[in-house]
Amino acid sequence: MKLTRIKIENHKRLIDLDIEVREHLVMVGANDVGKSSLLRCLDLVLGASTAQLYSNVTSSDFRDLTQPLVIEVDLANFGLADRALFPDEIHVHSVTAATHLSIRLTATVDENETMVISRNAPSGGTGRQLSRDQLAGLGWKFLSATNQTREMRQDRKSPLDEILQAVDLGTEKADFEAITRTLATKLGGSPVLEGLRIDLASQLSKALPEALDKNDLVLVPGSAADDDVLSDVRLQVFKAGTPRDLSEQSDGMKALFAIAFYDLISGRDRRTGGPPTSHQSAKSRSSPQGSPQSEDHCDAFVRHSQRV
């Protein structure tokens, strides 16, 4: 599926808009002009569960509380699995036979400040709310720079870890396992680290109910602890001749790296038949039944401009 149109009405941080989306949607602007608000609106209509809608949409999102907040998108380019998932909702033009799927989110606040939210396909004529399977079939995933900053910290698993875990080392695995055993032996036999274990045992014995001995503490490689020879392997990027971890990149660069990683994961899953992960777009993916869908897609990117 491909995103072709975005319409938003009565949002406090956005003027009313109706945007045609072609091959790509690129938003460039200074801080605090509404780029993130627009992406958040897309996430609400395409990705949020019903519980998340009622948690994330508040009266502060309304410009005028007496009017509904409306977020509507159009999608096109449907595969067979898409048509099976939205049999009543996809509209077929009576003359041109062109097809599109409109999804509309409407939120209202009554006089008692009670929020009522609906999300359906107005052209379907049924008025039914989108089901969980239909929502999953849209394949939307919102990747914010802030989220990627958290995911790419050195103490968290990242999409790179997922890629490395899927690597088949073949005959090379035995060589890496031998390296892991050698490192584990060196760690265990190091006089310097033995002194560290003595200090750690002494300090921990003061805090714990039972005393510890240096032999109660073992320093092991992450690859041995996780039983994964590529555990704790990092990807560094050379810039001006200096290697830098991904965790040291700017938030914007982290987001771009994350998009590239998810595209790689998605491509591999399509080749192996598994369920891929999509990002910031309704795009090519495998359906819940494993059937390939349309390769057409539209990506949305956001960049904060900087004044020189």
Average pLDDT, integer, range 158-165? 81
Task: Count other Cβ atoms within 10 Å, centred on residue 56.
Answer: 12
Closest CA relative to residue 108, chosen from 9, 184, 196? 9
Give yes or no for residue 143 having a pLDDT over 70: no
CA 304 to chain CA centroid, nearest Å:
19
Q: Which sequence spans correspond to the domains of the chain?
A: 2-142+280-304, 159-247
Proportion of the chain above pLDDT 70, given as a percent: 81
pLDDT the model gives residue 1 = 86
Q: What is the pLDDT of residues 84-99, one digit of tens each?
A: 999 989 988 888 888 9
Residues 146-167 have a mean pLDDT of: 66
pLDDT at residue 159 tops 80? no
Name the residue type at position 255.
A
- Asked whether residue 268 carries a pLDDT value surpassing 60, the answer given is no
* Structure confidence by residue, pLDDT tens digits, 280-292: 444 433 333 333 3
What Å distances lie between residue 88 and 72, 117, 121, CA to CA?
18, 21, 9
Confidence at residue 305, expressed as pLDDT on a 0 to 100 scale: 41
What confidence score (pLDDT) does residue 24 get?
Answer: 83
Query: What integer pLDDT is reported at residue 262 of this predicted model?
Result: 77
Characterise 190 by phi-psi region: left (phi > 0), alpha (psi -120 to 50), beta (else). Answer: beta
pLDDT band at residue 108 under the 50/70/90 scheme? very high
Task: Name the least confident of 62-76, 190-204, 254-268.
Answer: 254-268
Q: Is the pTM for the entire model greater than 0.75?
A: no
Query: Could you name the CATH architecture of 2-142+280-304?
Result: 3-Layer(aba) Sandwich (3.40)
